[in-house]
Amino acid sequence: MLELRLLQGSLLKKVLESIKDLVTEANFDCSATGFSLQAMDSSHVALVALLLRSEGFEHFRCDRNISMGMKLVNMAMMLKCAGNDDIITIKADDGGDTVTFMFESPNQDKIADFEMKLMNIDSEHLGIPEAEYQAIVRMPSSEFARICKDLSTIGDTVIISVTKEGVKFSTKGDIGTANIVCRQNATVDKPEDAIIIEMKEPVSLTFALRYMNSFTKATPLANIVTISLSSELPVVVEYKIAEMGYIRFYLAPKIEE
């Protein structure tokens, strides 16, 4: 028996909106730790890892570890039927082949049940080792989204370079080139407006903008995005989910051959 009651149902709605175009189907895993997902896009270039910790739920019952295969566009469609202020409860029976999403309006005058068929999904769970990154950039998530959107009007790939001068996002395309440099500015009025760059050594990597733009669909989940770069690893673009966990997008770099 699984029963997870999330007071801030909008978080789950936002999570699905941020991943449904990247990943078609995925197993949601539930254990005492929380509600989680790890999935790759169909071309295995990007990976998303989601964790919503059990403590973040108002009620969290998960009698045994369970993995529920879902088609994400279908799940997103159902969650779209929940109001932004609704409480969402996810319910499933052990060994069952359906999951139920229950939506309660804030004043309890409307209660809706949406039952969705589960599917069997063969998916490999990859081990993601703890790693030291050469550079970690924290910046306003809206600023990062803006940069990715702007650059993708010029080119298909972005070179992200971190030096002691700051972080530079560059692209080039048929019509020309673009460079956007963001310098560290830790002394702003609001901490969420700060750009903070932790650099152990300079790093420069090339990524497909199509994926970066897809990741920025998670912008409504967090004011700050953290971009971790290392020349030997996929970049990690992380959005913390208030008090609950995170959504992390991993993207393999493009390598010059």
Partner 1 sequence: VNQQRQITCFFTPN
**Cβ distance to partner 1 smaller for residue 95 or 127:** 127
Following DSSP, what letter does each residue of 128-149 receive, concatenated? ------SEEEEEEHHHHHHHHH
Q: Interhelix angle for 9-19 vs 72-80, to 10°?
A: 140
Identify which of residues 44 and 183 has a Cβ nearer to partner 1 in the complex: 44
Q: Are 63 and 1 in contact (CB under 8 A)?
A: yes
Minimum distance between the CB of residue 43 and partner 1, rounded to whole angstroms?
A: 8
Which run of H or of E encompasses 236?
Answer: strand 235-241
Report in angstroms how near the CB of residue 257 gets to partner 1 at its nearest. Answer: 5
Exposure on the CB side of residue 141, measured as CA atoms within 13 A: 18
Binding site for partner 1 (CB under 8 A): 40, 43-47, 124-129, 157, 206, 208, 232-234, 250, 252-257
Which is closer to partner 1, CB of 121 or CB of 252? 252
**Close Cβ partners of 177 (under 8 Å, ≥ 6 residues apart):** 154, 155, 170, 171
Integer Cα distance of 62 and 33 in angstroms: 10
The residue among 8, 4, 9 whose CA lies nearest residue 32 is 4
CB of 206 to partner 1, least distance (A): 6
* Nearest CB to partner 1, comparing residues 74 and 231: 231
Task: Give 111 or 126: the residue with its C-beta nearer to partner 1.
Answer: 126
Find the shortest distance in angstroms from Cβ 125 to partner 1. 5
Based on CB atoms, which residue is closest to partner 1, 49 or 70?
A: 49
The nearest distance, CB 77 to partner 1, in angstroms, is 27
Tokens representing residue 231 in the block:
């020349």
Contacts of residue 129, Cβ cutoff 8 Å, sequence gap at least 6: none
Least CB distance to partner 1 at residue 157 (A)? 7
